[in-house]
Amino acid sequence: MSAPSISGAVPQKRRLLWRVYLYGVLMLLLSASVSLAVGRYVLQPAYEVPIRPSTTWIAWHIAAIQHEPERVQAELADLRQRVGIEVSLFDPAGKLLLSSASVPPEPLAAPKLAELLAAGTRFQGGSGGVAIRDAAGSFTNYVLIRYPEASPFGLALGEFAVALLVLTLLAVPLARSIALPVERLAHLTRAFGRGNFALRAGPWRRRDEIGDLARAFDEMADRLAVLRRAELELLANVSHELRTPLSRIRLALDLVRDGDTQRVSAHLDDIGEELLELEQLIDDVMTTTRLDLGQTSTPEGLPPLHCERVPGYQVLEASASRFRKKHPERELQCAYGDDLPEVCVDPMLVRRALDNLIDNAAKFSETDTPVELGAAPSSSGLDITVVDRGMGIGDADKPRIFEPFYRTDRSRARATGGVGLGLALAKRIVEAHGGSVDFTSQQGTGSRFVVHLPRAG
């Protein structure tokens, strides 16, 4: 059998999603800018800066030996062949004096020449210029030089490596901020699964999906703790209820053994009564458990019920006639007509829920006061009311009366019978039908319970 799945439980504010997305965009922008800046201000100059002094020296050297045609030609050819440097020498008027370039460059226009004169040298992107001055500082020549540029592929590779490095460094805090809390939660969940039910994620400052996960864990843990406590209480209560009839049976056996048949027969009636109550208790516990189990085992969360369409009137009449038979001394005021809407219910179970409510109304009120059973159609189905003019329920007890085995002190003191399962069972039965049970009560005045059942179909 496959586990029931949940859908649509997506947190509304996807803070983590947006954080990861924006952080990713920021990482890309940062790594791109850093790699561009490193290329422009570190890698490119790292290649070009060493070229400057050596190329300037070459320019001065060629200018110095310009009047030795053979030597200058030989050295220019050597330079071009060995290191790919082409040199062209101009006089201040722009006349080309000598060149090793296959296509000699154009002489510098006046503004460019003025710039070169002011700076002394100029190097950029594979070409440069050097202004030559004599010992007195007068401008005598200028040299235009072309040298091999840095490989664009090499530069791009360098920039890519820088970008990767930046991305790798920036990804660490993001990865840590997601992985560490998830690791902590996984650890917590495992420890909880091993039975350490007191563990909680605690107050998380994060307001994103991971914070949600931690809060959901705590909610689940609280709920499981309540269920577990209820389970232990149920076990303790059932065991407690078994003790009296068992000790009576033991006493009866001892008496039989002693041959005291007279006292045994006096006990047999009590034992029979206790056993009846015990059967009722076991039946109630089993139905409660079946309804609880059903909620977790069917995909819709509803227990398997044997539902059929019945007129609302019929449901109420069945309960009313049982009550009249069981409590002939009590007055039951019925306030409902025979035109009530149909409901789709498991008749046995719904009758049991109503029986519990009417029995309580009789149990917790004086015999001379009436019990009222009413019903009226509502917008969603049928509202059934059970009203008494009895002792009522105190404010402190109100939140707990639907808990299994919960009984108020006053009801204990009155020794009204019952073990505190009636309301818990009634609520489960009605909720299993998609309905609900509400009540209002005032101490000393009485209580009013309302069962809402959805309309059939």
Interaction residues for ligand ADP, span 332-361 (CB under 6 A)? 356, 360-361
Contact status, residue 94 vs residue 102, Cβ threshold 8 Å: no
Looking at the Cβ atoms of 263 and 414, the one nearer to ligand ADP is 414
Q: Determine, following the binding rule CB under 6 A, whether residue 393 of this chain makes contact with ligand ADP.
A: yes
Identity of the residue, 381 or 390, whose beta carbon is nearer to ligand ADP in the bound complex: 390
401 near ligand ADP, rule: CB under 6 A: yes
The backbone torsions φ and ψ at residue 317, rounded to the nearest 5 degrees and listed phi first, read: -60, -40
Stretch that binds ligand ADP, among 104-112, 219-227, 316-324, 400-408 (CB under 6 A): 400-408
Q: In this structure, what is the dihedral angle of CA atoms 93, 98, 104, 107, given to the nearest 10 degrees?
A: -10
One of 391, 430, 437, 451 touching ligand ADP (CB under 6 A): 391
How many binding residues for ligand ADP (CB under 6 A)? 22
- Per-residue binding letters, 64-103, with ligand ADP (x by CB under 6 A): ----------------------------------------
419 binds ligand ADP (CB under 6 A): yes
For ligand ADP, which stretch binds (CB under 6 A), given 79-87, 95-103, 132-140, 418-426? 418-426
Nearest CB to ligand ADP, comparing residues 349 and 421:
421
Per DSSP bridges, beta strands 86-90 and 139-146 are antiparallel
Q: Which of the stretches 121-129, 228-236, 415-423, 430-438 binds ligand ADP when contact is defined by CB under 6 A?
A: 415-423
Answer for which of 85, 364, 432, 435 binds ligand ADP (CB under 6 A) is 364
Sign of CA dihedral 7, 10, 16, 19: positive
Q: Which of 407, 428, 430, 433 binds ligand ADP (CB under 6 A)?
A: 407
Q: The tokens of 309 are what? A: 């369409």
**Tokens representing residue 380 in the block:** 């969603």
Q: Which residues contact 427 (CB under 8 A, 6 or more apart)?
A: 402, 437
Does 237 bind ligand ADP (CB under 6 A)? Our answer is: no
Cα 45 to chain center, whole Å? Answer: 52
Q: Is 385 in the site for ligand ADP (CB under 6 A)?
A: no
In degrees rounded to 5, what are phi and psi of residue 162? -65, -45
Q: Binding to ligand ADP by residue 411, rule CB under 6 A? A: yes
Contact status: 447 vs ligand ADP (CB under 6 A): yes
- Contact footprint for ligand ADP (CB under 6 A): 356, 360-361, 364, 388, 390-393, 401, 406-408, 411, 418-424, 447
